[in-house]
Structure 1
Amino acid sequence: MMKKTNYSYIGIAFIILVFGIIFIPKIVDRISNEDIIRNESRSDFANEKKSNDSGLAFIEISGEPKKVPAFSFTNQEGKTITNKDYEGKVYVIEFFFTTCPTICPRMSKNLVQIQNTFKDFQDFGVASFTINPEHDTPQVLKAYAEQYGITNPNWHLMTGAKETIYKLSNEGFNLYAAEEEDVAGGFEHSGNFALIDKNGFLRSRKDSFGNPIIYYRGIVSEEEKTDEDGVKEEISALKEDIKKLLKE
């Protein structure tokens, strides 16, 4: 019985030895040629994802990333435009009115310059909401678009119910808008632009303290550099950040 047992052990050891000689080199070869490459590919993909991360902040309200509220208005072509028309696009939001005698013309010129910078990008757009919808009909908005050279098919100048537009401005984006008889033009509004990513989230770069700037100044042009009060332009920063979001 002892010899049989020993022969069994010897037989098992011999099989293991043969298995090792034949198969282990193949396993090692497979690991070196396939699995490591696969791991490298995964690593490269992770690095690519990281390099495509814009580094721009999500604007949070009560701990939640702020998303564009649902909206539905009529554009300069008389078509109904909703927030869904901007899905998959990076875009800039502004509130304005066509008879504005102060900041709107400067904002519009800056936006047209941005439009021309990204003229080859089908996934870039602008959303302009009038705060004087009673005057700014689709026909008036179309004439305004022609006057300023607005050609981007994703740039919609929109009009609708005043209450809805003001709620979108003041509550949806915290971009101030109000009817004020005592100010030039009869309306007062923010001169800032909001930047929206392809998924509809409000984004911005961070300041030197690591806090999101939230909005971009829309009045001072790149050429001016600063305004009369020494406030620096942010159009160049907005262009840089649009480029980053287009790569995300």
Structure 2
Amino acid sequence: MKKNNYSYISIAFIILLFGIIFIPKIVDRIKNNDITRNNRMDVGQDNNFEDKGQLSFIEINGTPKKVPAFSFTNQEGKIISQEDYKGKVYVVEFFFTTCPTICPRMNRNLVDIQNTYKINTDFGIASFSITPELDTPEILKAYANKYGITNPNWHLMTGEEKDIYDLANIGFNIFVGKVQDDEIGFEHSGDFALIDKNGFIRSRLDAFGNPKIFYKGIISEQEKMDEDGNEQEITMLKEDIKKLLNE
């Protein structure tokens, strides 16, 4: 029994000594930010992209590129412009409701992102139809209901075809166009653009220090990669949305 008592006393002494010597040092390191919490939503994926905190601006001739002015009608029949997104972080896509290929996948991914930030009133999505003559406000509203679009800052918009195509091809450099010999008749990018609270297009940098510019919108987090080996970027986009919301 005495031997056991000595063992307990020795263990207690060692614990006390550890507390006296090491705990103050750990506290000092925390105060000096030497120890940080590693949170999956606070750091970027590998994917050959760097995550150094602040996201890059997309510069044209040395000037940060802003979303150009626009004015279209949304699924509720209301006129929506870039001013309605002022003070909000939002994702931009170009789509059409009868698209049988990439649009359903893109919008399921956007619904996933919507649900990730469903309690944040400063997050929104802007979806522009590239078949505006077909996608009336009523059609867009039915589409929103079908996909579970509930965010009041998610506007599905229709308007003049030329204005929408110019917004895509010139305003965002996201390709959309008509294809004569294709049964669908239209071709468009599956990329998303990310916009900050002041209307600037933002992205993280690649391993060479160049802005990524757009995010792949077709591949889901669950799929991880497509048949060509391209990795999903929805997780990356979620992380970068959070960064801009915290700016």
1:106/1:219 contact within 8 Å kept: yes
Q: Post-superposition shift, 1:55?
A: 1.2
Query: Which residue number in structure 1 is paired with residue 134 of structure 2?
Result: 135
In the aligned structure 2, how far is the partner of 1:182 from the partner of 1:192?
23
Map 1:160-199 onto structure 2 (within 5 A): 160-199=159-198
Within a 5 Å distance, the mapping from 1:92-103 to structure 2 comes to: 92-103=91-102
Which residue in the other structure is 1:238 paired with?
237
* AA partner of residue 196 (structure 2): D
Question: What is the TM-score normalised by the length of structure 1?
Answer: 0.78
- 1:117 aligned to 2:120? no
Tell me what 2:155 maps to: 156
Structure 1 match to 2:74: 75
Partner SS for 2:205:
coil
- What letter corresponds to residue 211 of structure 1 in structure 2? N
**Cα distance, 1:181 vs structure 2:** 3.0
Per-residue deviation, residues 145-202 of structure 1 (Å, max 9, x unmatched): 0000000000000000000000000000000000113234211001000000000000
The structural deviation recorded for 1:54 is: 4.3
Q: Does residue 60 in structure 1 map to residue 35 in structure 2? A: no
**Residue type of the partner of 1:188?**
E
- Please identify the structure whose Cα radius of gyration is greater: 1
Moved over 3 A (4+): none
Judged with a 3 Å threshold, the aligned counterparts in structure 2 of structure 1 residues 184 and 222 are, in CA distance, closer, same or farther, namely farther
Displacement, 1:122? Answer: 0.1
Counterparts of 1:145 and 1:184 in 2: how far apart (Å)? 25
Structure 1 unaligned spans of 5+: 1-52
CA distance in structure 2 between the aligned counterparts of 1:91 and 1:204, rounded to whole angstroms: 12
Aligned residues: 196
2:225 maps to 226
What is the alpha-carbon distance in structure 2 between the residues aligned to residue 126 and residue 213 of structure 1?
19
Task: Report the CA distance between 1:208 and its aligned residue.
Answer: 1.1
Deviation at 1:65, TM superposition (A): 0.1
Q: Distance in 2 between matches of 1:197 and 1:108?
A: 20
Which residue pairs with 1:200 in the alignment? 199
Structure with greater helix share of residues: 1
Indicate conservation of the 8 Å contact 1:102/1:184, yes or no.
Answer: no
Can you give the 5+ residue segments of structure 2 that lack an aligned partner in the other structure? 1-51
Counterparts of 1:233 and 1:204 in 2: how far apart (Å)? Answer: 16
Provide the rounded CA distance (Å) in 2 between the counterparts of 1:208 and 1:184. Answer: 39
Task: State the distance in 1 between where 2:137 and 2:60 align.
Answer: 33
Across the aligned residues of Structure 1 and Structure 2, the Cα RMSD in angstroms comes to 1.0
The CA distance in 1 between the partners of 2:127 and 2:183, in whole Å, is: 20
